[in-house]
Amino acid sequence: MSSNLSLAYLMLSAILFVIGGVGVLIRRNPLVMIMCVELMLNAVNLSFVTFGKMLDDISGQIIVFFVMVVAAAEVVVGLALIVAMARRRPGATADDLRTLRG
């Protein structure tokens, strides 16, 4: 794989990461926010794989599996929270959770 191609993957990874980050910051729908977090995680996964290939190091690819597992677990917890919230207050946004502030 040429270095140009690697660079392109890394650029894509950075763009996805920024899209995810901005999404988390500006969207208020909790479901979309979770998806954005997933997007960020996968952007990082992409960069891991790319670096693993560039440096010829298998550990870059192994760690991706760990990230996926953690992401899956995180989604489970996150979706459970969202469902619980939606049941209690249908249509509530992440900002409405401000009432939980001490």
Partner 1 sequence: MVGLVWLIPALPLAGFLILVFFGKRIGEPRAGWIGTVAVALSFVTACVVFAGLWGEPEHTYELSLFEWIPAGNFSVDIGFLLDPLSMAMVLFVTGIASLIHLYSIGYMHGDSRFPRFFTYLNLFVFSMLILVLGDNLVLTFLGWEGVGACSYFLIAFWFEKDENASAGKKAFITNRVGDWGFMVAIFMTFFAFGTVTYTEFLPLSPELAETTATFIALMLFVGAIGKSAQIPLFIWLPDAMAGPTPVSALIHAATMVTAGVYLLVRVNPIIAASASWIPWMIAIVGIATAFLAATIAMAQQDIKKVLAYSTVSQLGYMFLAIGVGGYTAAIFHMITHAFFKALLFLGAGSVIHGMHDEQDMRRMGALRKVMPVTAVTFIIGWLAIAGVPPFSGFWSKDDILAYALHKSPILYVIGLVTALLTAFYMSRLVFRVFYGDARWGESAEGELANLKAHTAVDVADSDEHADEHDDAHAGHGAVHPHESKWPMLVPLVVLAFFAAVAGFLNLPFTHNLEFLNNWLEPVVGENQANFDLGAFQLTFELALSTTIALLGIFAAYMVYLKNKVDPRRIELPFFANGWYIDQSITKFMGGIGRKGFELIAMFDKVVIDGAVNGVGRATRGGASRLRAIENGYVRWYALMIGVGAILIVAFVMTQVSF
The residues that touch partner 1, with contacts defined as CB under 8 A, are 21, 24-26, 28, 33, 94-95, 97-101
Q: How far apart are the first and last CA of the chain?
A: 53
56 vs 95 by CB, closer to partner 1:
95
- Cα-Cα-Cα-Cα dihedral of 32, 37, 38, 42, to 10°? 140
Give Cα separations from 3 to 57, 82, 87, 101 (angstroms): 16, 42, 50, 49
27 vs 53 by CB, closer to partner 1:
27
24 vs 49 by CB, closer to partner 1:
24
Tell me phi and psi for residue 58, to 5 degrees. Answer: -70, -25
